[in-house]
Structure 1
């Protein structure tokens, strides 16, 4: 199948499966016109370690930046100019590598403050959040047609009016003064190239692009375990709206992980410490568990299928002899091998599913001899990338399988 070389990278879990290191590795296989971000915003945390040992956690810049690959933030990204400026400074201010769709929403300090205030009010009933205001930005835009967008930074009058409306909507919050935010956002507008929706077509026509997703399918706004989800479409749907043909690459770890609250059937007391993940003030605890074949099969199904898999953390099974693959759940004595998807956009059914998952426990557990082969068999897709460490040199890529 010819995919024009374009590849979309989607996490089939709860995030943190290694999308950044996979994108970095793909960018090293040949010329890449751009890394295109297609969901999420500044809450993303994609870790890349170069062969020389340099580490950066990518949020809004694409994970090919350290190789000089340009980034395009599509209209589906929630852009945070303040967080982006801080990330750019850590990278040496590579604004020449960045283009931004003018229709993308702008996250403000008031969205962020409102997000954190809401999570505090929930107390022990927190849903889990990165505390960056991404969900609050999307929620505000649903009820306000004049929500600030990237193109507004090109007009100081319009920008001030729309930012003042956000500030007024949330009332007194511990956030930055309006004048300071206006000045910072106008400076952002002078530093980046703001484009319209016709720009992306030119990128795709010029050569191979890599679409980099944020978070994971099991956190999807419509398909995840509601309400412990994100305000973002984490499947391939946004990519399909931007590009007519692409290779669907699903990313999984050899062990399942989850930040914060919500069902996690395969959770287990495994000795698998993380260098770049831990308990966060807003996300909550970082949890680990067995490879959850049941949840990952569901993710593949609701994502519309995958053409291939990237399996990361293949160095983990030799380090943790207790690690297993969970191939079924036990729910009140009944064996459960498949999570049946609810109808699209039915949050009531998703909430009911969440309640069932909260009562479920691991059923059948096995220890594979060949982890990539077994994972590919369980998810009914070929493994085209194997990762044995954080650097791109730790990867094995079956390039012909991706029509690169």
Structure 2
């Protein structure tokens, strides 16, 4: 066991707040934090973590956002792994100058596989919902998680045993045949999938819990979350949520297994965003440029709204508290507003409280209340990051003033350790 402060990066909103840029900066040599690996602790191939630095841009999905610094990625057992998309992402990273991207990767054998069958089923269900779409990314995440609840689902470790994998894939295809039909799977045959997945298992390191222990022996771990806390499968605004535990309980449990302490960084923007359906109480046509976010064929439009400290305080509580704020998009133009309260049918609301874990009826009632809420706005006076820190009661450690790595600014040490102090000193003298 190792007495190290490990970092957990979570998005306090609905996603797209800048987790990738944050993780990239934490792994950069100038941060001097001694990061040994980036650990993905939730989500799957639907993640879209944009990093812009040194003339390169990449949208990280399954690889950790420290890859530009040759920091290894560990895909934990809580990840949903999509090998075909992973291979394509590896090729894109290689074209950007990353040497042997797959060599930087370790994948827990217990992680579930997302297949073309899951993806086709996901899209068929979302299409059938019509105007009542949940806001799915259409990448098979929910279908992968749901199928595993009731069936013996394929895992990464199965890719090393073709007979076991073929049997599981045959049952998977038969289960979904009535929904999507054999011609809609998006692959030639189960045999073709088995061959591809066997090659995948030979190209990556298939691991177990020992991988994290070995990585922690080399230095600090950065746990990179996907999506946003308000999309959490149990504490988000149901049913417009992801089939993934976004709040940091899984990251904390993994850290407990290797020793050390968890310091949680909550990431937000100076305004709210939401990609797809579901409540966004402060929604307004702010018109901020979004070069890396547009309308998705399944998610729908990329929406914007005024800052919402009520929802952000709710997210902080869902996380069990956080240790520092990362505030991005301080370069956004225009006058900033924020929700001081909501007017609802039951009266004025200034705070929201999470219900018991896994109580989806409570989460549905919260969604219904927010869907009909009218925000009461107040101006954001002074520096938006400092203003937000006062509203949330959490110190700001890092700010973003543009899309590039060089646009990050340190406000205070990320860690209490000497390394963090050196970061702050270097930033002040820059």
TM-score by length of 1: 0.96
Tell me if 1:211 matches 2:223: yes
Q: How many Å separate the matches in 2 of 1:326 and 1:368?
A: 13
Given that residues 51 and 57 in structure 2 are in contact (C-alpha distance below 8 angstroms), is that contact kept between their aligned partners in structure 1? yes
Q: Which residue of 1 aligns with 2:132?
A: 125
* Shift, 1:353, TM fit: 1.1
Give 2:82's aligned residue: 80
Q: 1:140 maps to what in 2? A: 147
**Separation in 1, partners of 2:238, 2:276:** 14
1:32 to 31, 35, 41: 35
Q: What is aligned with 2:5? A: 5
Cα distance in structure 1, aligned partners of 2:405 and 2:21 = 7
Residue-pair matches, total: 398
The residue that corresponds to 2:15 in the other structure is 15
Q: Which residue of 1 aligns with 2:293?
A: 277
- For residue 54 of structure 1, the aligned residue among 53, 56, 59 is 56
Structure 1 residues 262-285: Cα deviation after superposition (integer angstroms, max 9, x where no partner): 111010111202000011001111
Is 1:65 the counterpart of 2:77? The answer is no
- 1:359-374 to 2 correspondences below 5 Å: 359-374=372-387
Distance 2:154 2:274 in 1: 32
SS, match of residue 368 in structure 1 = coil
CA RMSD in angstroms comes to 1.3
Structure 1 partner of 2:97: none
Q: Given that residues 337 and 377 in structure 2 are in contact (C-alpha distance below 8 angstroms), is that contact kept between their aligned partners in structure 1? A: no
Please name the residue that 2:280 is paired with.
264
Name the SS for the 1:402 alignment partner. coil
Cα deviation 1:11-37 (Å, max 9, x = unaligned): 000000000000001111123100100
Q: CA deviation at 1:333?
A: 7.5
Match of 2:199 in 1: 187
Cα distance per residue 1:161-206 (max 9 Å; x no partner): 1111111110124111212111111110010000112221221232
Question: What residue is the counterpart of 2:209 in the other structure?
Answer: 197
- Tell me which of 288, 291, 300 is aligned to 2:304: 288
Query: What CA distance in whole angstroms lies between the structure 1 residues aligned with 2:68 and 2:110?
Result: 27
Instruction: Return the offset for 1:398.
Output: 4.2
**1:318-337 to 2 correspondence within 5 Å?**
319-321=333-335, 323-332=336-345, 334-337=347-350
CA deviation profile, 1:76-109 (whole Å, cap 9, x unmatched): 0000001101101101151110000000000011
Question: Contact 1:78–1:137 at 8 Å: present in 2 too?
Answer: yes
Distance 1:3 1:354, change over 3 A: farther
Q: Distance in 2 between matches of 1:17 and 1:201?
A: 30
The answer for the alignment partner of 2:240 in structure 1 is 228
CA contact (8 A) 1:10 1:234 kept: yes
Q: Which is worse superposed, 333-342 or 252-261? A: 333-342
Partners of 2:219 and 2:398 in 1: how far apart? 21
In 1, Cα distance between equivalents of 2:200 and 2:63: 14
For 1:185 and 1:271, locate their aligned partners in 2 and report how far apart those are by CA, in whole Å: 43
Q: Is the 8 A contact 1:11 1:215 kept in 2?
A: yes
**Which blocks of at least 5 consecutive residues in structure 2 are unaligned?**
95-99, 421-430
1:250-302 CA-partner distances (Å, limit 9, x unpaired): 00000100011111101011120200001100111100000111100000001
Q: Is the 8 A contact 2:396 2:412 kept in 1?
A: no
The superposition leaves residues 120-176 of structure 1 with CA deviations (integer Å, 9 ceiling, x where unpaired) of: 0000010011111011000000001x2101100111111111111111110124111
The alpha-carbon deviation at position 116 of structure 1 amounts to 0.2
The whole-number CA distance in structure 2 between the counterparts of 1:222 and 1:5 is 27
CA distance in 2, matches of 1:288, 1:240: 31
Q: Distance in 1 between matches of 2:322 and 2:380?
A: 24
Cα drift, residue 368 of structure 1: 2.0
Contact kept in structure 1, 2:323 and 2:394, CA below 8 Å: yes
